[in-house]
Amino acid sequence: MEGKEPGSGPGPGTSVDAISSERLGLRLRELRLRSGKSLRALARELGISASAVSQIELGAMRPSVSRLIAYVSAVDAPLAAVFDMDEPEAPVEERGFAIRRSWEVDPILLDGGVTFRRLSPAPTPDVEFFESVYPPGAISNAHGQFLKHDGYEVGTVTQGELTIEFGADTDTEIVTLAAGDSITYPCRRPHIIGNRSESVMAVATWLIVHR
C-alpha cells in the first residue's frame, strides 16, 4: 500500500487501513455484472430488498460476514475476488512461487467491526485462505440467520475465543474454540460465528476448500 513501509504491516487487532465501503461496493457490483445477474434477481436470491443490495454496492451499507459470503456465492465468485489487490507480476507457474508482504494487504471491514484479510499471496484454485478478526461481541450475522455455502471450512483460533453455533431443523449445537483449537465442517451445515467475550479480540485463520 502507498505510504506503508516494510515492517509496518498489520497484526492481529492492530489498526490498519481497511478497504473502504465504496471500494468494496464497487467490487461487488463488478462481480455481479460479470455474473450477468440483475440487482433484483440477486436481491431475491439473498432474501433482501433490491434497495439493500444497491446500498451495499454504493458503499452506503457494510455487509455482514454472512451477507458477504452469500453475495459472492450467489454471483459464483470466490471470496478472494473481493480483495482487489494487484496480482504478482509473474504467474506462479513461471516464477515458481508467490509472495505477498503484510503491508501490501488491505483488509475488509464488515458490519459489526469484523475484518477479513486475504492470506493467500496469489489466487489458488479451489482454495480460500484468510484471517478474520472479531471484536468483542461481534457475530457473523447480526440478523441471527444461519449461513451455509459451498465447500469445507478449516479454522484455527490464534487469539481469544470464537463460538460457532450450528443450526439444524430440530436443534442447535454450540462449540467454543480457544486459542490453538481447530475445527473443520462442511460449509453447507448452517452456522453462525461469534465472539462472546466482552473485552478480548478473537482472531482466527480459515481455509475454505471448494469441491
Q: Give the domains, in start order, of the chain with CATH numbers.
A: 21-82 (1.10.260.40), 97-209 (2.60.120.10)
- Overall residue count recorded for the chain in this entry: 211
pLDDT at 179: 98
Beta strands in 70-168 (DSSP E): 108-109, 115-118, 127-134, 152-159, 161-167
Residue 68 neighbours by CB under 8 Å, 6+ apart: 79, 82, 108, 110, 116
Over 60: is that where the pLDDT of 40 sits? yes
Site of grid cell 433484483:
40
Mean pLDDT of all residues in 46-65: 94
pLDDT at 2: 38
Q: Which residue has the higher pLDDT, 150 or 133?
A: 133
pLDDT at 93: 61
**Mean pLDDT across the chain:** 85
Give the Cα separation of 66 and 46 in Å (integer): 10
By CB atoms closer than 10 A (0-12, 13-18, 19+), residue 197 is middle
Over 50: is that where the pLDDT of 109 sits? yes
Residues 166/194, Cβ–Cβ less than 8 Å: no
The band of 20, judged by pLDDT with boundaries at 50, 70 and 90, is confident
Please give the helix or strand (H or E) that residue 206 lies within, else none: strand 202-209
**What are 17's three cell numbers?**
487501513
Q: Which residue has the higher pLDDT, 145 or 46?
A: 46
